[in-house]
Amino acid sequence: MHCLTTLVALALPLLAVAQNTTIQVGGTATEPGGIFQFNPANVTASVGDVITFEFSGAPGNHSITQSSLANPCTPLSGGFDSGWVFIPGPGTPAPQWNLTVTNASSPIWFYCKQLVPSPHCKAGMIGAINAPTTGSASFDTFISNAEAFSGTPGQEVGALVGQDASASAAPGPIPSGVTLFGSPAASATATAPAAGSSGSGSGSSSTSPSGSASGAGTSSAALNLRASGFWAGVAMIMGVALA
């Protein structure tokens, strides 16, 4: 029995223990980094670790949307998405969104897709999990690609389950005065990525449908596109006066 106890004691340090890391979503104009930031912007995590995004920037209107190294401001096909969380002002309890890492072998990239008062992604509201600090696929490269982005950041509504990470629920709890909109349903699953698409590559989803369905039925792609457009419009309206 003594030997067994000793072996168990020696094995305990070898057991992988899931860690929880908190990332603040949004900031204030007076704090370092300003309004448009994820803080910290790049974290390290292992499989099974939970990243808790806390919507603490108030006032604020932000999302956590998976993208790719090559296209930081475009939703990744098959990527995760929190939807927009609108915080009217300070003093409001911050909703949280828990994302579990399912594959730690490659970086996970994300951005805020809010457009008002200007695209948050181009302003530097981007983040990563397990991004290298050096090399051509580093977080600095991700920043440079976001700064060089031209056009309108993608507004599609993604899914709770993304590439290499997943959530089981929408952000919450939602206190009085806070609004959650454009969030994927709990049953929603991500669209399978196109061949060659990955979070670390150039894969991205299109902002327009690739084709139309034949027959009398309306394609699910068209329905998703209309829903995305609707929620993007709502996000813009509610973000006119707030970051």
Q: Which domain holds residue 152?
A: 16-189+218-238
Residue 147 in tokens = 């700064």
The mean per-residue pLDDT over the stretch 144-150 comes to 96
Spatial contact of 106 and 89, defined as CB atoms under 8 Å apart:
no
> What type of residue sits at position 14?
L
Residue 116 in tokens = 């008002």
pLDDT of residue 213: 32
pLDDT of residue 189: 54
In a domain, 45, yes or no: yes
Number of domains in the chain: 1
pLDDT of residue 188: 56
In a domain, 200, yes or no: no
Give the whole-number percent of the chain exceeding pLDDT 90.
63
In a domain, 22, yes or no: yes
Residue 119 in tokens = 């695209």
Q: Where are the extended beta strands (E) located within 130-243?
A: 165-166, 179-181
Identify which has the larger pLDDT, 10 or 62.
62
* Whole-structure pTM value: 0.75
Distance separating alpha carbons of residues 239 and 117, to the nearest angstrom: 7
In a domain, 180, yes or no: yes
In a domain, 197, yes or no: no
Instruction: Encode pLDDT of 193-222 as tens digits.
Output: 433 334 544 443 333 222 333 333 333 333
Residue 97 in tokens = 């969104």
The mean per-residue pLDDT over the stretch 221-237 comes to 43
- CATH number of the domain bearing residue 56: 2.60.40.420
In a domain, 159, yes or no: yes
In a domain, 120, yes or no: yes
In a domain, 173, yes or no: yes
pLDDT of residue 17: 62
